[in-house]
Amino acid sequence: EIVFSKELLESVKLILQKSKDLKPSQYYEKFVNENDEIIAREKGRLGFENDNKDENKKTKQDTAFEAKLKKMMKNQYYMMFQK
């Protein structure tokens, strides 16, 4: 089981709070673009340093880390904006 750090969770919550008009997939893109250092640290902490897409292959399949991060962000989104 992957347990994300408090730093990463707080960063995700900040992105969600700052931009309330985006869809979950847009939050993910924005987060990844703005937080590459935090993501790299988290990958290292969790042992996913080598969990990268093969740049030579044009694959749309997420890595294990990306899949978990997307799921966590989607859950945070629905917990924050559920009405």
Within 10 angstroms of residue 19's Cβ, the number of other Cβ atoms is 12
Question: Per-residue pLDDT averaged across 16-21, rounded?
Answer: 86
Res 76: pLDDT: 92
**What's the pLDDT band for 24 if we cut at 50, 70, 90?**
confident
State which amino acid sits at residue 31.
F
Taking only the tens place, the pLDDT of each residue in 36-82 is 999 999 999 999 988 776 554 556 678 999 999 999 999 999 998 87
pTM: 0.82
